[in-house]
Structure 1
């Protein structure tokens, strides 16, 4: 789909501020006569500057090299609009009020949208849980400051492939809206589904790729058949990671920062599985600077893995079940030379708890301290630095 991978631009005031300063400097000049220059500042030629001397052809000194500014990337967990959250889509502009400011403060904010979106279709037979939302779900995410939403998960086609055309149309409209939302990990074919979202942050390109590596039992869950193919719609699948690794290498050649969002792991587990650990190492080796994930519906550890940064599981974020959650904001320094790599230089955890209303609310006092302690324990469990 044309809306799945595209440019989403954050506007910054640096250039406008500079132009304003120049304008003020020009407007502030006085009409009074300019006082005479002192002898040391005379415009007369210096004694050794003969009129017959050849012109100075030495090159001007090179301007100092401009280093790209750090990029702030915020990631949060699973979002759907079921149960108590469903009525909130009647007013999508305020549907996720509460955590919106934390997401909007980042240059790029990414979540997993764990629901089918659109109209038509019917619940997939054999599925215990089927989630559904209208196109207002995309509007609600964009209004909350989300720039990129992954739909590479085991609920994106809960209402079958017959709903998918309406999903893709809504995603194209979301990408063209103001503010825009890039929907990734789903498409009319595999090329569409794997297409990255490209976000320009003051000249730094952030590429975000999404895929699902959630191992579903085909005898109990139909989602194993949802994977997109060369001529088949669906989600980007990574149980065989070959295509995903190729896309990461390709993105690494042109983008400054590469983020991979994976649906993976074992539901209910707080420590990453062996499969997650192996996949994370392979992705970082292929050029991923940040690897984040969801699917366990539990928070899992985050930290450094070689030159990359991994957050194995971000849990739920807007969900009908109360529990711990948060927003992880990473400060990423873009590469300083063409062959270099981006690097996460700082991480910040916004500790929160999902309440009875399904929304994340900031923890304070003992609850915030408990959230920080939990994060330390999960990092040790994940074996991350």
Structure 2
């Protein structure tokens, strides 16, 4: 594996509505003030000694950057022994993940060794803190825990997940001690641009929505269910007004179905209209279509990623790498993989071409107006 490039500056999430002001804006504001009341233009001398208007300082140079996305990650069953060596737990896919400037996945598990299993759930997932070590070693920078397994081990498991996240270089989003935290993005700065990265769940059992959704006073997840959809859209709009790029990682879809649920395209439209540069996600355990919507990008389902399913459609996986530039996605690459022994192994040669074409064909099969390139 090639050494991972130095990580971009990662900023803390926007907590309690506090704004992160770009240094360039601060300097611009300061330079416009003249406490002496003098004429700023006259006070600036040219190299020849003549008085002239100041030459504006050049804006900070920025360059495009990449984010790699992977689907659902958990460490139950055959995955558990892999955590004995977190440095290699994610397998060969780590090379692709580490090649991007940033990497984001869905962490579909509580990060705890305690807690109480949620009542009435057939499947509950948890993993020790070494799961975050495994993500970090593979090059993952940000993980959304806003999904239908994030609170599988109750309030104690949630508290452990938050504490383990605080102690890890991997930033957790879509979860918090209250709604302000859960609906806050993680903000990263890379190549002179900022990107706000959200996590939210569009999938929760009806009897768990109230208990699992973060409120002003209770911990929980960010959700796009019911009235909380507007909370998410508003958060995206506010982030888009302040940052160069916005990513929303959604837990959405119907298990086993390649095509999105009927309401999903409308939700994607709403988020893009609010300023989302990219909307990606998973949950269905199978791949779903992805493509450009104008100069934004929408992917309806990245499938399983590090998961104990490794036969048939549930074994189809891959890495989506998007190139961002000042609020637009300029390039997209889907690199298909197949899950073997719980981890994704990249396809090669003709098999990779066939897997890629099968995925592209899903757009027409689902009747989605997504394209290969930006408008």
Q: TM-score range by the shorter chain?
A: 0.7 to 0.9
Q: Secondary structure of the equivalent of 1:98? A: helix
Residue in structure 2 matched with residue 265 of structure 1 by the alignment:
253
Q: Secondary structure of the equivalent of 1:228? A: coil
Deviation of residue 81 (structure 1)?
0.3
Distance in 1, matches of 2:324 and 2:241, equals 17
Residues 6 and 199, structure 1, Cα contact 8 Å, conserved in 2: no
Residues 64 and 191, structure 2, Cα contact 8 Å, conserved in 1: no
Q: How many pairs are equivalent? A: 321
Runs of 4+ in 1 over 3 A off after TM superposition: 54-67
Deviation of residue 373 (structure 1)?
1.0
1:139 aligns with 2:133: yes
Residue in structure 1 matched with residue 185 of structure 2 by the alignment:
196
Deviation of residue 55 (structure 1)?
3.7
Deviation of residue 59 (structure 1)?
5.8
1:369 aligns with 2:353: yes
Check 1:126–1:60 CA distance in 2 against 1; reply closer, same or farther (3 A cut).
Answer: closer
Check 1:150–1:225 CA distance in 2 against 1; reply closer, same or farther (3 A cut).
Answer: same
Residue in structure 1 matched with residue 337 of structure 2 by the alignment:
352
Distance in 2, matches of 1:364 and 1:377, equals 19
Q: Give structure 1 stretches of 5+ with no counterpart.
A: 8-53, 175-179, 335-341
Pick one of 309, 322, 330 that aligns with 1:330: 322
Residue in structure 1 matched with residue 45 of structure 2 by the alignment:
none
Residues 4 and 171, structure 1, Cα contact 8 Å, conserved in 2: no
Distance in 2, matches of 1:55 and 1:214, equals 68
Residue in structure 2 matched with residue 104 of structure 1 by the alignment:
98
Deviation of residue 6 (structure 1)?
6.7
Deviation of residue 275 (structure 1)?
1.1
Residue in structure 2 matched with residue 5 of structure 1 by the alignment:
13
Deviation of residue 368 (structure 1)?
0.7
Residues 173 and 182, structure 2, Cα contact 8 Å, conserved in 1: yes
Q: Secondary structure of the equivalent of 1:99? A: helix
Deviation of residue 64 (structure 1)?
6.2
Residues 4 and 195, structure 1, Cα contact 8 Å, conserved in 2: no
1:236 aligns with 2:222: yes
Residues 65 and 191, structure 2, Cα contact 8 Å, conserved in 1: no
Residue in structure 1 matched with residue 280 of structure 2 by the alignment:
292
TM-score, L = length of structure 2: 0.81
TM-score, L = length of structure 1: 0.79
Q: Secondary structure of the equivalent of 1:274? A: coil
